[in-house]
Chain A
Amino acid sequence: MGASKLEMEPFHRGAEANLFLSTIDSWKVVVKQRISKAYRNASLDDKIRRERTLSEVSTMHDAKAAGVKAPSITGVEAETDTFSMTFVDGTIARDCLDGMSPREATTLFEKLGAMIGLLHSGGIVHGDLTTSNIMVTLERDPFLVDFGMARRSSDPEDRGVDLHLLQLSIVTSHLKDASPLVKALATGYSKTAGRAIHESSWAKAREISRRGRYFAIR
């Protein structure tokens, strides 16, 4: 890919990577570069960045094969912890959720649930499923982005983490009542995940949410 040779314009700063906009031929692409963290021990830092870049690229590709809407990989440069992917035009859910009508929001979450069901039944978990990592296109379709914590797993525990974190991100970042959104999410999820996965994943999500400190009843 030769990310170093692309003309890049800063686009977004995430928790662990910088994103740039660029073009490869006529494709508008996003270049994602995992940056070194000053707080982290250097060898740990290198290990985490390399592992996550490689697993991100392969799980994102597998997710698409499972029917999930996600950007397509256009190039990888492992030695600089960089890869590029197709640009998805839209707004992140973190920014647009609170401005949506209740009906728009539940429709979005039902579609999202169906997509996560496909991901999970395809043997993949996202690992960082928050409203910051869901793009909403102009047609109001959800796209999953940022597969940095994603991995291949069919463990109900890992699926439960996805569902739990998505709920937490609504409760901590949005003014909207989470319960109708979670209900819509479950409706969509049940349609694509199949009954067995649906039941075990949500049971785990409930269990995980009660693992925190000082719950009176577990």
Chain B
Amino acid sequence: MCLGIESTAHTFGASIVNDGRIITNVNRTYRPPPGIGIHPRKASEHHVTVSEDVVAKAIKSPNGHQFHPDIIAYAAGPGLGPCLRIGATVARALASFLDRPLVPVHHGVAHLDIAMSLGKARDPLAVLISGGHTAMLVHLNNRWRVYGETQDITLGNVLDMFGREAKLPPPGGRSVEDLAKRGHRLLDLPYTVKGNDVAYSGLLTAAVNMFHKGAGVEDVCFSLQEIAFSMLSEAVERSLVQTRRDEVVVAGGVAANSRLREMLESVAKDHDASFYQVPVEYSGDCGAQIACSGSLAFKHGAKVSNADSYVIPRWRMDEVDVPWVPRN
């Protein structure tokens, strides 16, 4: 039984996973005021305030039974330093008080672990789309290998930053999606695929400029989505053909967008690949992903002493050994 602690960015979460089953998953998300991004210190203060309550709820079943985890896993990175340190501090305290092993987890790898567990995927092309990542990955020679990714900002950044510029109610992704449904005119925005990478900063700037010059916000949102998602879908399609996987798994918070889902599903179907997308409650940052990944990592010998339990704000997916993929 593993207790997982998530605190890489805006969410503080705790979850119990037992034998691959998610037993509890309790999360609280810091919401900055409209028009403002996440301030790392403000988010970390939020995490300090909610941590005790979140952990207490996570280790209790609905009928009041108390769980006793055998492993404490925490998200060691990548993420915002002040936020990561809160989760790590809570995890260290629990591990030393309960005398249980402490397991550091890579947040991005964890997104894929929970996606593969829920979707019963074996050896997929993984598409990770979140505030921190926009990448296509395949597992080869013991690690996730990035075949394509964003060269500048992530898809999550594009939607959030456009939402803030246009003063839409947060979260930006949902506002853009709702407005896009009422737009229908495709505006001329830059489409940038470089090799198998995408670059979004020019697209964001152009969309913001069009909005300020008076283009209808519905049409800008519609065009922004169509262009940004088509770029990604094209890169996913090329990745699928080059890496020859027959499963596509989509993970990460931004994956909740239904137009994006429709496009990626169409790509997978076109190439006879099975398609799985993580349900909304587990696609955003959550404790369950960390508990799920921590259980797998511990089985393969991952653990760390309290003294060595650093946080790693910059940590590449392809720097982590992941011997538990392909799954059996």
Contacts and interface: CB of A to CB of B under 8 A. Distances in A.
A211 B151 contact: yes
Interface in A166-192: 168-169, 171-173, 175
A213 B230 contact: no
B233 interface: yes
B257 to A, nearest CB: 13
B78 A214 contact: yes
26 contacts: A15-B238, A37-B233, A37-B266, A39-B262, A39-B264, A39-B266, A39-B267, A40-B226, A40-B263, A41-B226, A41-B230, A43-B186, A44-B230, A128-B195, A162-B195, A168-B196, A169-B147, A173-B138, A175-B141, A211-B151, A211-B152, A212-B149, A212-B150, A213-B135, A214-B78, A215-B314
B242 A213 contact: no
Interface of B: 77-78, 132-133, 135, 138, 140-141, 145-152, 154, 186, 191, 193-197, 226-227, 230, 233-234, 237-238, 240-244, 262-264, 266-267, 270, 314-317
B195 A129 contact: yes
Contact of B270 (A38, A168, A171): A38
Top 6 nearest A-B pairs by Cβ distance? A165-B195, A39-B263, A39-B266, A15-B241, A172-B147, A214-B78
Contacts of A132: 241-242
Nearest to A94: B242
Nearest to A40: B230
Contacts, number: 108
Nearest to B199: A211
A40 to B, nearest CB: 5
A194 interface: no
A173 B140 CA distance: 8
A56 to B, nearest CB: 15
A208 interface: yes
B214 to A, nearest CB: 22
A84 interface: no
A38 B266 contact: yes
Given A39-B230, A39-B233, 6 more contacts: A44-B186, A162-B195, A169-B147, A172-B243, A173-B140, A213-B132
B275 to A, nearest CB: 12
Nearest to A164: B195
Interface in A112-162: 127-132, 149, 161-162
A212 B241 contact: no
A168 B317 CA distance: 15
Contacts of A162: 195
A14 B230 contact: no
A16 interface: yes
A100 interface: no
A37 B230 CA distance: 10
A215 B195 contact: no
A127 B195 CA distance: 5
Contacts of A24: none
A48 interface: yes
A216 interface: yes
Nearest to B144: A172
Nearest to A43: B186
A161 B262 CA distance: 29
B80 to A, nearest CB: 12
A50 to B, nearest CB: 14
Contacts of B133: 213
A161 B230 contact: no
A208 B230 contact: no
Contacts of A149: 193, 195
A172 B186 contact: no
A132 B152 CA distance: 26
